[in-house]
Amino acid sequence: MSAQIISGKEVSAQVRECLKKDVEQMKLKDPNFSPGLVVLQVGDRDDSNLYISMKLKAAKEIGINATHMRLPKTATEDEVLHSIKEVNENSSVHGLIVQLPLDSVHKIDTEKVTNAVAPEKDVDGLTSINAGKLSRGDLGDCFIPCTPNGCMELIKQTGVSVAGKRAVVIGRSKIVGAPMHDLLLWSHATVTTCHSKTADLPGEVGKADVLVVGIGKAEMVKGEWIKKGAVVIDCGINHIPDASRPSGKRVVGDVHYASAKEQAGFITPVPGGVGPMTVAMLMANTVLSAKRFLESHQPGKWNISYSNLNLQRPVPSDIVISRSCVPKPIDHLAKEVGLLSDEVELFGTTKAKVRLNIVQRLQAQPDGKYCGGHRVNLITPTPLGEGKSTTTIGLVQAMGAHMKLNVFACVRQPSQGPTFGIKGGAAGGGYSQVIPMEEFNLHLTGDIHAITAANNLVAAAIDARMFHESTQSDKALYNRLVPLSGGERKFSPIQINRLKKLGIEKTDPSSLTEEEVTRFSRLDIDPSSVTWQRVLDTNDRFLRKITIGQSPTEKGYTREAQFDITVASEIMAVLALTTSLQDMRQRLAKMVVATSRSGQPITTEDLGVSGALTVLMKDAIKPNLMQTLEGNPVFVHAGPFANIAHGNSSILADKIALKLVGPEGYVVTEAGFGADIGMEKFFNIKCRYSGLRPHVVVLVATVRALKMHGGGPTVTAGMPLPKEYIDENLELLEKGCSNMKKQIENAQHFGVPVVVAVNAFKTDTEAELDLVCSVAKAAGAFDAVHCTHWAEGGAGAVALGQAVQRASEAPSSFKFLYDLELPIADKIRTIARKIYGADDIELLPEAQLKVELYTKQGFGNLPVCMAKTHLSLSHEADKKGVPTGFVLPIRDIRASAGAGFLFPLVGTMPTIPGLPTRPCFYDIDLDPETEQVNGLF
């Protein structure tokens, strides 16, 4: 009786159908996900091309995104290894096949090349690591080579159990024989491996219940050698002469099929047996690799380690504490929180940028709690600051290291101005810091410098354009704007955009009429209308008012101008509010820099500089990853001042963090200065553009700040605190709690639960801390707790973390303070009355003119970003507590059309701070031997 034929075509079709369903299930869970396969080929061998085409066809049928990477015959070993490294680091690829043989004119070490493939992508199962795991029996933690794996699948189809049977493998190659031996052994067969030196090969074959042949010799195994009823798997592919075939040859296996069929119980044909199964198993390994990837990169599946703090008493300086903790390598932290290697750009060992391709990868994943909007805000602070950043970090350390929740901090990048001026470092303080604090405070990854360069490029472009327009005829101006190149004139893409804006649908520079040439060439900027200022990230008070154009080369075209601090630049606001690279390009293009003499807004796109700005900002848009003292992840990104801009870290950082923490995780993000400024702008501006809705507001209060609002003496940076702030004084404190109650009321206007964090200083008494908590709860706070995170790290903020967790589950009904459709003055009035407690507003003449201008120019529906002092609820810094009965003066209004808001200037508001008599830089120095920065806080 003839053997039953095991059809590899039928079995492989069944396997591929199952794989197709597996891929469909993956896509149901994540529509953006596809298993990825790369086939790397060196040279152009016909047989390799045939095998590769079969693999690509099978991949397409199953739904695998397969790519054929071709390298020429001239490729060197280094070039091949470089290509493999690129694929290893590409997170969208889950399988990498190096097609053998490597057809290069250069000598290439095949073993070295195959072992360069990342083991987790080695779907051929050829690396030493996968081979070693297979030989040890770790079948669930490796990739099994495809041909042996296919052979096992074919044996399984016979229904014959391998366990306890005698198995013989002929051949000992790394691709077939050796792994086949291991697979049969771990399936509990008694295995004999035979080869060219085996004595009495027919006798050994005759003992086999299961025979697998992969020796590479045509029809070597004869039928009479085979045990009656054995399972015969023929892996051979050989060509023998056959005059009856058009090609003059035919394919046969290593087994003499005709005679073996009469002895065996089951047999595979050649072709149509093992071959199709090899391709099917390759696809199966690729899908398995993709499944493993998804399993190990589930949203919120963190495997994070935390650092133990060695608390010292008294608490040392911030920089001593920062240096006492050894930060985790930043690539290690990135991996812990679910970032892939190709999503991270390392800046040394302690900071990194996160690429925006992560947004696409995590698009379908659910967000964590934007109690990430745990909006950390202050009561109205003292000039010394009340520990908002410290509380942000302490809360994150508590929720992560101590409550074992996934939690991310999102904070602003500090400006160099305050770092060298009054404030000093901004990395938090005590045992609740971002580390290394000197890197955090100095340059970081250069984002602020990129903004400085981009901002000043715009300023240079404005004055250069005004100069050239004033000194040239229309024709000369046009000829220079659209110069001859190679004998012809061409508009650049950005010039085409300007033509379209003007309603000129032409692309040939020679076709414009004289009138069109004039309209295109002349922006006709009114010098008195220029609102764009130069910037510098230094507190240089003497740049608040300058005269530019005094060189003789500028031919007398001078004008008054000024410098702002870099973080006040509209480009910083754009960075903080953008949602993608494309969105940033559009926002940068819409920035209004001046008005023409005919009343039209002049944008950076009109100046032709918006594309260049995007290039300068292409790296700054990527959030910066750092860590806390206890090893929690922190995004440090964007840094607009809250008194002269919207004062919040970036939307992108918040959105990426919300995806990374997973649906049960938390993101803690902070706003600058008091809740009347930072929080109001967070809700009314940032939340409008992000579409995110916060769950909790954390309001930071301190005893000393509340005493100041109760009528305590003036607090001056650099001077000792008066005794009223050091000694217990419940009467003064209770009077000052009016400011905290007002800020709680302000948060409640937005329908979000408020938790008050009373940041304890060593001079505070228990009675004082308890008083603040009881007043806060009576005023409507969801909860109020006092915290000791400055002295104790996360352990000192666990009660705060628990309160925030409870509050995030409480009902909320978030709402904006005003509708965008309201007239500009009414939006300002709403903020002034509801948030500051003013009776009304007064639009001074310049502000009234701007209301009319911006309404006419189409900016009337933008949200409002109030620029006012952070030291009082009113416009007067010395008015503490809760001032009443005042009218808020609006001296001017400016448009940040690219960022997407109007900013009224309240009272006198310098846009570049000045240095004090004794700036912080007196204490800052570098140790030339250790290269350590000293004196930073």
Angle between helices 610-617 and 447-471 (to 10 degrees): 160
Catalytic annotation present for 827: no
- 72-to-34, 76, 104, 105, 247 alpha-carbon distances in Å: 28, 9, 7, 9, 29
Q: Are strands 231-234 and 432-435 parallel, antiparallel or unpaired?
A: unpaired
The number of angstroms, rounded, from the C-alpha of 53 to the middle of its chain's C-alpha atoms is: 37
Q: Check: CB of residue 226 under 8 Å from CB of residue 254.
A: no
CA separation for the pair 603, 613 (Å, rounded): 13
Q: Check: CB of residue 814 under 8 Å from CB of residue 694.
A: yes
- In degrees and rounded to multiples of 5, residue 242 shows phi and psi of -155, 105
- Whose tokens are 């915290």? That residue is 787
Query: Residues 6 or more apart from 310 whose CB is under 8 A from it?
Result: 324
Q: Check: CB of residue 867 under 8 Å from CB of residue 643.
A: yes
Q: Which two tokens stand for residue 138?
A: 């770790």
CA separation for the pair 38, 739 (Å, rounded): 63
CA separation for the pair 325, 226 (Å, rounded): 70
Find out whether the peptide bond into 694 is cis, omega within 30 degrees of 0. Answer: no
- In degrees and rounded to multiples of 5, residue 654 shows phi and psi of -60, -45
- Amino acid occupying residue 893: I
Q: What is the 3-state secondary structure (H, E, C) of 825-892?
A: HHHHHHHHHHHHCCCEEEECHHHHHHHHHHHHCCCCCCCECCECCCCCCCCCCCCCCCCCCCEEEEEE
DSSP state of 443: T
Query: Residues 6 or more apart from 493 whose CB is under 8 A from it?
Result: 611
CA separation for the pair 121, 142 (Å, rounded): 10
Q: Which two tokens stand for residue 410?
A: 């999102």
Query: Residues 6 or more apart from 841 whose CB is under 8 A from it?
Result: 825, 828, 829, 832, 887, 888, 889, 890
Choose among 147, 155, 140: nearest CA to 174. 147
Q: Check: CB of residue 741 under 8 Å from CB of residue 775.
A: yes
- 478-to-379, 514, 712 alpha-carbon distances in Å: 56, 10, 65
- 263-to-7, 161, 230, 273, 874 alpha-carbon distances in Å: 18, 19, 8, 18, 100
- Whose tokens are 């495997």? That residue is 303
Choose among 690, 715, 646, 667: nearest CA to 896. 646
Find out whether the peptide bond into 269 is cis, omega within 30 degrees of 0. Answer: no
Strand partners, 766: none
Q: Within 10 A of 923 (CB to CB), how many other CB atoms are there?
A: 12
The active-site residue, picked from 55, 121, 655, 686, is 55
Choose among 139, 97, 134, 144: nearest CA to 116. 97
| Helix or strand run (H / E) with residue 259 | helix 257-263
The number of angstroms, rounded, from the C-alpha of 243 to the middle of its chain's C-alpha atoms is: 65
Number of alpha carbons in the 13 Å side-chain half-sphere of residue 258: 0
CA separation for the pair 328, 334 (Å, rounded): 10
CA separation for the pair 620, 937 (Å, rounded): 26
Q: Are strands 266-267 and 249-252 parallel, antiparallel or unpaired?
A: unpaired
Angle between helices 610-617 and 493-501 (to 10 degrees): 130
Q: Mind telling me the catalytic residues?
A: 55
